[in-house]
Every structure is written in structure tokens, then in C-alpha cells.
């Protein structure tokens, strides 16, 4: 039975006893970022290089145990883990799916509630410790990651997260969470093209986005040819919602 494990520490405080075996509860955060500098595949996901077994040497989604003792919520656990393991603060968080296959972790029954996280990649302060064997964080292109062999069932998890991002970005204004507060329409379109993995018509895209009335103009860029800059106007968006408005790209 997979839940049986020898104890390693002779004197650990095993103070908590139950009538039945219990599952461990963890959270995982699939952290997406957008890096315009990589014009080939700007959509990134943050992974951790595992320094320990199981799956030592493979890349994995950041995550860890929920602190039941301190009544930690799942969302707080994700925030904590993502900050600890990846040094990242995020804008947008949403529960993705719960993975609970009995054999997904060779150490025992581990239930993972996965969360879908969007960050402005500029804000990162991740631990990119060169060739070190310890845990190390890195932004990797989604297109590359989906062809890698990841730890645990993390290929499946990332696959689901990417699908969710692709579908949700089309009917909810979540993409803005991947951009700095102020952005150009070209940047926004590049973001959508990276996520949806197809080219969009420039004029149709601009007309559609602008006609929604959820962007505010905040001036022009100073360097180079003046570019119109916008910010996402959350207030205007919420006002529109009340009149049955539907965001849709």
C-alpha cells in the first residue's frame, strides 16, 4: 500500500494520530509571465529545479504543504510558497484543479490543489543560482516546457493551466495582469498572440479592444516614435459589467 513509509527520525514528534490514514494536502502554483524581450516565445512559466528525490534533477511547478496547524487557507499557502520558492509577488490568482491520483507522488497519498497565477514579469526576484544543485527557479518558455519531461504529474497540470489561460483570456480581462500597469496596444496584441498561439489582425484587434471602453489613454511614450499608452480601467470594466457587457476577444 503506497501510504506506508518507514519513519526516518527515531525521535520525531508524531503527535497527531487519526483512525484512518490521511492524505497530505499541498498547493501548486502555475506562474505565468510575459517577456516581450523573447519575441519568439514570450509566454513563460516559472519552474523549480528539484535538488532532491523524488524526481531529482527534473523541473517542477513550485508548491508545498498547506500549514494545517495554523489554519492556513489554500490561497495563503500558494502566496507563501510562491514567495518562498520563487521570490515572486503576483497580481492574479485562481484555483485551477485538484490533482489527487493515488500514485501521483511515490512517497504517499498527496492531494495537490493547483492554482493559476499571473505576474508582471518585471517584478521578479527569483533565485537563479547558476549550476548549484540546490533548488533553483527559472522562467521557461511555455512552448519549450510542454515538450519537456517534468516531475510528478506536472506535465498534465501545466497542460491544463495553459488551456485555461487560453480559454479564459478570451472572455475575461485577465491578460492585463501579465503586463505593466501602462502598455501599448501592440504589446497587448503580442500578449494575446503569444497566449492564443495565432496571429491576430491588427486593425480588428485594436478596434475591438478600444470599442469596449475599458482602456484609458495615459499619454504617449517619450522615447522613439510616440506610442499611445493605456491602462486597464477596472472601474469602467465593472460599470460595464452591470449593463450586461461581455469582454470577449
Partner DNA sequence: CCAAAAGTGTTATATGTACACCCATGT
Partner DNA sequence: ACATGGGTGTACATATAACACTTTTGG
Footprint of its own copies (CB under 8 A): 1-9, 12-25, 52, 65-66, 68-69, 71-74, 95, 97-98, 100-103, 105, 107-111, 113
243 secondary structure, DSSP code: T
Cβ at position 189, least distance to DNA in Å = 9
Provide the 10 A C-beta neighbour count for residue 84.
12
Residue (of 35, 40, 37) closest to 139 by Cα position: 35
CA–CA gap between residue 21 and residue 29 (Å, rounded): 26
Choose between 67 and 171: whose C-beta lies nearer to DNA. 171
- Write each residue from 194 to 213 as x if it is in contact with DNA (CB under 7 A), else as -, in one continuous string: -------xxxx-xxx-----
Cβ at position 106, least distance to its own copies in Å = 10
CA–CA gap between residue 68 and residue 148 (Å, rounded): 33
Q: Supply φ then ψ for residue 95, to 5 degrees.
A: -65, 135
CA–CA gap between residue 96 and residue 157 (Å, rounded): 9
Residue pair 188/177 in contact by the 8 Å Cβ criterion: no
Of 74, 196, 227, 236, which lies in the binding site for DNA, with binding defined by CB under 7 A? 227
- If contact means CB under 5 to 8 A according to the sort of partner, which of DNA, its own copies, none does residue 208 touch? DNA
**219 binding DNA? (CB under 7 A):** no
Cβ at position 161, least distance to DNA in Å = 26
Structural Rg of the chain based on CA atoms? 21
Choose between 20 and 243: whose C-beta lies nearer to its own copies. 20
Chain residues that interact with DNA, rule: CB under 7 A: 184-186, 201-204, 206-208, 223-228, 248
Amino acid at each position: 500500500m503506497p501510504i506506508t513509509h518507514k519513519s526516518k527520525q527515531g525521535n520525531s514528534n508524531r503527535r497527531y494520530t487519526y483512525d484512518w490514514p490521511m492524505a497530505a494536502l499541498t498547493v501548486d502554483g502555475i506562474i505565468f509571465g510575459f517577456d516581450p524581450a523573447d519575441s519568439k516565445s514570450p509566454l513563460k512559466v516559472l519552474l523549480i529545479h528539484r535538488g532532491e528525490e523524488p524526481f531529482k534533477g527534473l523541473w517542477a511547478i513550485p508548491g508545498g504543504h498547506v500549514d494545517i496547524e495554523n489554519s492556513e487557507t489554500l490561497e495563503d499557502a500558494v502566496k507563501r510558497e510562491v514567495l518562498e520558492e520563487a521570490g515572486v509577488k503576483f497580481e492574479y490568482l485562481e484555483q485551477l484543479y485538484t490533482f489527487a491520483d493515488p500514485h501521483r507522488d511515490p512517497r504517499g497519498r498527496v492531494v495537490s490543489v493547483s492554482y493559476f497565477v499571473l505576474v508582471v514579469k518585471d517584478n521578479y526576484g527569483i533565485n537563479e543560482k547558476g549550476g548549484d544543485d540546490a533548488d533553483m527557479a527559472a522562467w521557461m518558455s511555455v512552448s519549450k516546457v510542454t515538450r519537456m519531461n517534468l516531475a510528478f504529474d506536472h506535465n498534465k497540470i501545466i497542460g491544463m493551466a495553459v488551456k485555461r489561460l487560453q480559454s479564459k483570456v478570451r472572455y475575461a480581462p485577465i491578460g492585463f495582469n501579465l503586463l505593466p500597469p501602462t502598455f501599448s496596444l501592440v504589446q497587448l496584441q503580442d500578449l494575446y498572440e503569444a497566449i492564443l498561439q495565432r496571429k491576430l489582425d491588427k486593425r480588428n484587434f485594436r478596434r475591438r479592444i478600444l470599442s469596449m471602453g475599458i482602456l484609458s489613454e495615459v499619454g504617449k511614450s517619450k522615447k522613439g516614435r510616440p506610442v499611445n499608452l493605456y491602462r486597464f480601467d477596472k472601474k469602467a470594466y465593472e460599470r460595464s459589467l452591470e449593463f450586461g457587457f461581455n469582454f470577449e476577444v
